[in-house]
Amino acid sequence: MTELGFTPATDLAGALRRREIASRELLNHYLGRIERDNPALNAVVTLDEERARRQAWAADEAAARGELWGPLHGLPMTVKDSIETAGLRTTAGATELADHVPERDADAVARLRSAGAVIFGKTNLPTYAMDVQSYNPVFGTTNNPWDTARTPGGSSGGAAAALAAGLTGFELGSDIGGSIRNPAHFCGVFGLKPSYGIVPARGHIPGPPSTLTTADISVIGPMGRSADDLDLGLDVLAGPDPIASVAWRLDLPPPRADSLARYRLAAWLDDPYCPTDSDVLEVLAAAVDALRGNGAAVDERARPVELPAADRLFRQLLQGAVCNGYPRRVFDRLRDEAAAASPDDDSPRLRTARDITQRKRDWNSAHERRLQLASRWATFFRDHDVLLCPVTPTAAIPHDHAPDLDARTISVNGQHRPYWDQLTWAGLTGMAYLPAAVVPVGRTRQGLPVGLQVVAAHLEDRTAVDVARRIATVVGGFLPAVGAQQVSTSETSSGPSGPRSGT
């Protein structure tokens, strides 16, 4: 039964439909793996075991009668702890929400349940999803199953770690600055940041519980162990919200090509502005060479935009999207700092202060520049079907919980680089509302996973997923985390507690 835990959701859903396995059997398998392996990882932080057992039993009984609830009938899965689940605690890793039990599912969660999913737990994240590591004062630190001294990434780090370690069948994450893509890359799983707006985001924290506004750039999307899992997630999740569905439907176009050789690929694997570490670059370059060896045409000179300008714009728009989450006293202090500073002071701290406290007039100007860049992307995609690029400059980084996030650094080619360089390649595409899939393409010489970001034109999510699928047949693809069976609770400090009942 060990291999069952690492089976893609698509295959599990098929086995459940054919009654080759029971939902109760699969749920028991995941719960057993969580009891054994999760103490060392702290990926799953809340369980809804009793209700999940009832739902799994009902799913099995329905299947015996020939009734199927949908494409996820009876599939046990977990959900990132920033996405609201009715009757199941949703904390976003924040102490003030430690006992928050929503009365209503997020729209995306409701679609999963309507499709037959059995949601049995929640996975860890940084507080309010505001870091590229996954730790918080409520549940503590999540460890990467490939190396427990390293982070699984963030903010959907618990989700990626659970998938890599075989603790869940499927996952729902969210992404504003790489929060699906960064953990997928760090943990060796598949993830999709959908085109902005095609999956309803109501029920995501932040904003505060019951917020109806969708934050700019932010999306909800699927994570799994195959590209087919991402397609399955799109089938279930994509579409207008309940109000808009009165008037319109979503019909995503099919993939642009039917073979790898017919795709027009562009690759942008490194840039002086945000260098890729040589260990990661070696794996990415080998993947591109393998694609060429299998008949793909790859243009390594094409550039849709300039990375420095795109990154600067992304950071302004990102702070505009999240500024409401800052306490009033912090916002006021940053506003005063920005007002008192010299106009010539362009330090990172002052840029951040200005971006957080920017006026609506400034944001309007930034949004227009975003649309101008999006137009350039659209022109680029007339001649190229996808762009292949890094997710982030390094493989999984060691845990670093220094209180001042801006003072943290990462090591790239032996040099200290800004911690927030980890957002640059993800922001390049997210800011323009583009879909991007992550496909595992190998491991570094240290044995850490490396993912490749596959970016497609706006609303052409199926193309991004299809290219990821074809890449995985040539190089890489999901591999179970080698440390998932060996780690022990004595090797890590996983946090205040293991998973608890959240109902």
In the set 80, 122, 156, 226, the catalytic residue is 80
3-state secondary structure 72-117: CCCCEEEEECCECECCECCCCCCHHHCCCCCCCCCHHHHHHHHCCC
3-class secondary structure for 415-456? EEEEHHHHHHHHHHHHCCCCCEEEEEEEECCCCCEEEEEEEE
Residue 501 designated active-site: no
* Nearest by Cα to 503 from 38, 46, 39: 46
Closest-CA residue to 194 (of 142, 133, 252): 252
Type of residue found at 186: F
**Distance from the Cα of residue 426 to its chain's centroid:** 11
**Alpha-carbon span 420 to 392, nearest angstrom:** 10
Per the document, the length of the chain is 503
Question: Are the beta carbons of 4 and 29 closer than 8 angstroms?
Answer: yes
Element holding 409 (H helix, E strand)? strand 409-412
Rounded Cα–Cα distance for residues 182 and 160 (Å): 9
Q: Are 219 and 83 in contact (CB under 8 A)?
A: no
Distances from the Cα of 178 to the Cα of 295, 381, 436, 497, angstroms? 30, 22, 10, 27
In angstroms, rounded to a whole number, what is the distance separating the alpha carbons of residues 53 and 68?
17
What distance lies between CA 491 and its chain's CA centroid?
A: 26
- 360 catalytic? Reply is no
- Residues 23, 82, 134, 155: which is the catalytic one? 155
365 in active site: no
| Distance between CA atoms of residues 462 and 481, nearest Å | 27
Catalytic, out of 82, 134, 179, 226? 179
Element (H, E) at 362: helix 360-383
Residue 37: count other Cβ atoms within 10 Å of its Cβ: 25
Q: Over 256-293, what HEC string results?
A: CCCCHHHCEEEECCCCCCCCCCHHHHHHHHHHHHHHHH
Q: Indicate the DSSP class of residue 397.
A: P
Task: Dig out the tokens for 422 from the structure.
Answer: 């980890």
Active site residues: 80, 155, 179
